[in-house]
Amino acid sequence: MTVTVKLFAHLRDRLGFGDRSVEVPDGASVGDIWRAISGEEALPRHVLAAVNMEYRQPTDAVQDGDEVAFFPPVTGG
């Protein structure tokens, strides 16, 4: 299946892209997507994840066509 991955702030600088389509096996989780794009085994504790613009945990499943975002701790306000 194909998902769109979005990265923000210093994660985008570190991994070198902001928006990309990624092919992953059916049944992949948020954590599997992170492994596919970063090569790291686990999602670092401070990295936040969202699927279709709602916060999700690394173990949550992802569907074909989803938008999966990873970003550092937020610093607004």
Partner 1 sequence: MHVSLREAGFDPWAELAACQQERLAGGAYGATAAFVGTMRDFNEGATVQRLFLEHYPGMTERELERLATAAVDTHGLLDVLVVHRVGRVEPAEPIVLVAAWSAHRASAFAACRELMEALKSTAPFWKREETDAGDRWVERNTPG
Is 45 a binding residue for partner 1 by CB under 8 A? The answer is no
Question: Applying CB under 8 A, which of residues 9, 20, 44, 61 lies at the interface with partner 1?
Answer: 9
Residue 70, SS3 per DSSP:
strand
Question: Applying CB under 8 A, which of residues 1, 37, 60, 72 lies at the interface with partner 1?
Answer: 72
Residue 35 Cα to chain centre, angstroms: 9
H or E element at residue 68? strand 67-71
Strand order in the sheet with 67-71: 19-23, 2-7, 67-71, 48-51, 54-56
Number of residues that bind partner 1 (CB under 8 A): 17
Give me the least distance between CB of 5 and partner 1, in Å please: 13
Is 22 a binding residue for partner 1 by CB under 8 A? The answer is no
Q: Residue numbers of the site for partner 1 (CB under 8 A)?
A: 6, 8-10, 13, 50, 53-55, 69, 71-77
